[in-house]
Structure 1
Amino acid sequence: MIIIDRITSILQSLLFAYALIYCVDKKLETNKLKLFFMVLMFTIIGTAFSGTFLDNPAIIVFLTHILALGLVVLMYRRDVRNALMAYTIVYNIIITYSIVFGNVIFASTIEILPPQYMNQASIFIMYIPGWILIFICFKYFEKINRVYKVLVNEGGLIYSLIISFAMDFIVTFYLLTIGAKSQLMKNIVYVMFFMFFVVVLLYFRKIHNKSEQIFKLNETLESKNNELRKIKHDYGAQISYLYGLCLMDRHLDLKKALKDIINVNEAIATAVEVSPNENSLLSIALKPAIEEGIHVIVEEKGDLSLVAISEMELYRIVSNIVNNAITAMNGQGIIIAKSYECLEKFIIKIENNGPKIEENILKDIFKQGYTSKNNKDGNHGYGLSIVQELVKKYSGKIEVKSTDIATEFKIILPIKRTT
């Protein structure tokens, strides 16, 4: 069993080292020595405390994790964040397998198996599935790399580290109670793991939704680029035509041709809209943003007929929020609008990546007449107060939060009760 355990440690160490080389260094051929060194060091860290006075599984789990993170920081001082992300992704995969196959399946199996079959159970329930998992990771490492890129772009390092240490806590808690005869303690471990698993699924679902939005936006941008290439080609022909008119001194025709070109150019939108229905209420309310050069993503999954508010008043709510965003964004950025139903509520979220609204301003933005803009007339500062008034009229509420990354308005309206 010791030999099998050492082989498993080497394979896991190889997976950790390969993840760092593949994701961060991106060149395996020129980093083979580095790969060998990291495999050696990860293996030493993983096996160093076996049989020592620290032979307490609960302590070893945390200690080996911290030492491995220290090695990653030492090896990638110039790219610590990305290196920690790559390591943590693989760590979370391995420790999730350990919880499922070690703490749940294996622990349940040994209760019904005779003691003489313990080693065989370990091999077939823990070690062999672990080797298969490592093989699958190597085979489909490009998918792991995609997850790595998404998490790096989303700034998910802190979340990933928290998840990894939370996993450690679950394993540690289980190891501390494994000798206990109380079924209650074991049930607590299972419940904690289930809750944690749900949180992880929700987190990665959020990341998946974000990546889907980016993918759709990229598709639309590619379509727009193709359109612009065609326009560039057409303009080349038009310039040749204008030059010919100039050479022939046909100035009236030249003037008319230039005017036609200008009109066509003004009709071309520079922003991109991703929407399944361009005639929906949210899409119509966001048209001014498109005209100002702001990209728009619309996701409508809610049924407007479920709320008592009229379409006109809902349009006023959305358009006032959008107009404030347009002013703040100064013709650049993205607005994402969503509608959906949740727990008998109809929810609309309008998110933009414009400047952060400071905390001292957030508490005043819904006050009548309040504005953070320097206006010479008295027509500004009433949009958001109207929004709040209309939302409250229909027993709803509006929430706003703002960070350095995005500002989000969340409108919550009750769904009509059916009789």
Structure 2
Amino acid sequence: MFNKILIANRGEIAVRIIRACREMGIRTVAVYSDIDKDAIHTQLADESVCIGSAKAKNSYLNMQNILSAAVLKGVQAIHPGFGFLSENSTFAHMCTDCNIKFIGPDPETIEEAGNKSRAREIMINAGIPVIPGTEGVVETVEDALKEARKIGYPVMIKASSGGGGRGIRIVRKEEELKNAYETAKTESKAAFGDDSLYIEKLIENPKHIEFQILGDNFGTILHLGERDCSVQRKNQKVVEEAPSAIITDSLRKQMGEVAVKAARAVNYKNAGTIEFLLDKHGEFYFMEMNTRIQVEHPVTEMVTGIDILKEQLSIASGEKLSYDQSHIKIQGHSIECRINAENPDKGFMPSPGKIERLYVPGGNGVRIDSAVYEGYTIPPNYDSMIAKLIVHGKDRLEAISKMKRALEEFVIGGVDTNIDFQLKILNNKNFEKGKFDTSFIEKEILNRK
């Protein structure tokens, strides 16, 4: 096992990694931008290093500065968390060149599975059901027009290196395509440094179901069940739960086997996620693979009892998984609400600023993953998510009741948050009945008078 690792991230995921390391006896090095000098992850880590100014490109995306800090502090490995450099194969290669273990899949796997258009090709060749679309990237607007006509409208233009809902445009008519293609290309370049795009058929109002994968270095790949991530706004997840309210045992077995097959197609090692779209007819399609830890991993931890962060560290250090698929049991139900510093009544405008009051909920089966504290100033430079509220109950109805209670207790003063918006979701009758898909927020919450 590693003696010391560096965490190339910030916020709640950095805190989550530090906690796992401390429990395993691993020393940690935090990196931070100058605006994050008072962030809690810098205080919880054993050591910390400033790596640049507030702009992410100068700090959390600055590979050279991060690796310089890693070499300076003598770490054996780097955990990238999620976002930033977590799916950057160049960074993973650079870690290897510096004789530092990248805690994640091999760089070659990131290149194959992390690139959405390339992953589609691999899955098609492996016999995995995929959404109808282009076989590779679409180089020009003219090519995009031709491919969209072949596929049939409506279509989705998607960034090959995409994630977090960025670089995606829905096109319903041919006259909308040129502008959508150009804006998606610009957004993708800005967000990921890669402007390559591909096109898929738009599956209307599907369920978004993802399977958590673990793979070690000895050929064992297994799944930890599914998460339902259908409650989204503009392709960004808002509420996640495990297991899904509509997935039967037989469908779980079928989708889980396909997920493992998909991971095996890219020789996957460490923690990852296979994402599917499930249509109203019960047909499911591979959408993409995320080659990193997911924001919503806690709901899987709550229903399986498996600490995914610790598994990541163990796998990266060369240890075998200590169990097989038959050992994975789903117990009860878990829900996660992402708590953002934003104002839903003003178009979800971010709300950075000083937290003047803070009371976090507790009690049996309630978990908070966060990096904020009373007096902390939320910077305007990064994602607006400031906490994840996770609950576990004996069944879905108990989990919903527990989440409502916890949300009602949660007090964050000084900035706007989406806590009341989350309560609207939890109080919705169709949500309670499990009758929702990716159009739920738009139809049931935002457009309901």
TM-score range, shorter chain: under 0.3
TM-score norm. by structure 2 comes to 0.23
Q: Would you tell me which structure has more helix in proportion to its own residues?
A: 1
**Larger relative contact order, structure 1 or 2 (CA cutoff 8 Å, min sep 6):** 2
TM-score norm. by structure 1 comes to 0.24
